[in-house]
Chains A and B, each alone.
Chain A
Amino acid sequence: DAGVTQSPTHLIKTRGQQVTLRCSPISGHKSVSWYQQVLGQGPQFIFQYYEKEERGRGNFPDRFSARQFPNYSSELNVNALLLGDSALYLCASSRRRGLAGGLNEQFFGPGTRLTVL
């Protein structure tokens, strides 16, 4: 089975531009989460989408938005890019909405490396 896929692999943008990142979850997974990982730090939670609705949001500005499509794929949009948005953006999928109980593991994609100049 294919794992979580993300596109593009790398992206270079300039300040003020807008970017769209894409994620396809593992087949059968209905939950997609987005994380930002700045160099040298652990990933930080941005959004969770489940059944096409936003179910959780981290401490990120409104410049960050996302959506989930009927096939459960997802897009992360970032407007008015800042230098500090340079990071690895990770997408993770899981079967269920919650991560407590059971073995509801999140499977991560390889990430999109965004560089803002």
Chain B
Amino acid sequence: SQQGEEDPQALSIQEGENATMNCSYKTSINNLQWYRQNSGRGLVHLILIRSNEREKHSGRLRVTLDTSKKSSSLLITASRAADTASYFCATVPSSSGSARQLTFGSGTQLTVLP
């Protein structure tokens, strides 16, 4: 079963606009990661945020984490057509026995129109 849900399921924006995707999860986590997937191919790791962090930046990406609400958001600024892809959040649980697998959300399909 999926750990959580991404919101929205699909997002369509114009090039240059910002894109925000949200992720909710259910259990206590050690860290949360965001991945990108082009056309049903392999996943590319974008950014990792630990449970004791609230915000992290990487280039045009900004990730926030609210452990009290069990939610995270991914902001892509100044989007480009090449950002068109599916974006997934994935969590690593805080219980050590389970900290060997990623639990993925259902993904957001982002389309950036030129």
Contact = CB atoms under 8 A, between A and B. Distances in A.
A111 to B, nearest CB: 6
Contacts of A68: none
A108 B2 CA distance: 19
A48 B100 contact: yes
B42 A108 contact: yes
Interface in A31-87: 31, 33, 35, 37, 39, 41-45, 48, 50, 55-56, 58-59
Contacts of B102: 33, 35, 43, 45, 92, 99, 106
A107 B45 contact: yes
A73 B27 CA distance: 32
B61 interface: no
Contact of B104 (A43, A50, A105): A43
Contacts of A4: 42
Given A42-B2, A42-B88, A45-B102, A100 B41 contact: no
Given A42-B104, A48-B100, A100 B45 contact: no
Interface residues of A, number: 34
B107 A42 contact: yes
B94 to A, nearest CB: 7
Interface string B91-111: 010101011111111110000
A100 to B, nearest CB: 4
B15 to A, nearest CB: 26
Given A41-B106, A100-B94, A88 B40 contact: yes
B42 A100 contact: no
A37 B41 CA distance: 10
Contacts of A48: 100-101
A45 B31 CA distance: 17
A50 B102 CA distance: 15
- Considering the complex of A and B, which 6 residue pairs feature the smallest CB-CB distances, nearest first? A42-B104, A100-B99, A100-B30, A45-B101, A108-B43, A110-B42
Interface of B: 1-2, 30-31, 33, 35, 40-45, 48, 88, 90, 92, 94, 96, 98-107
8 contacts: A4-B42, A33-B102, A42-B90, A43-B43, A56-B100, A92-B43, A107-B45, A108-B42
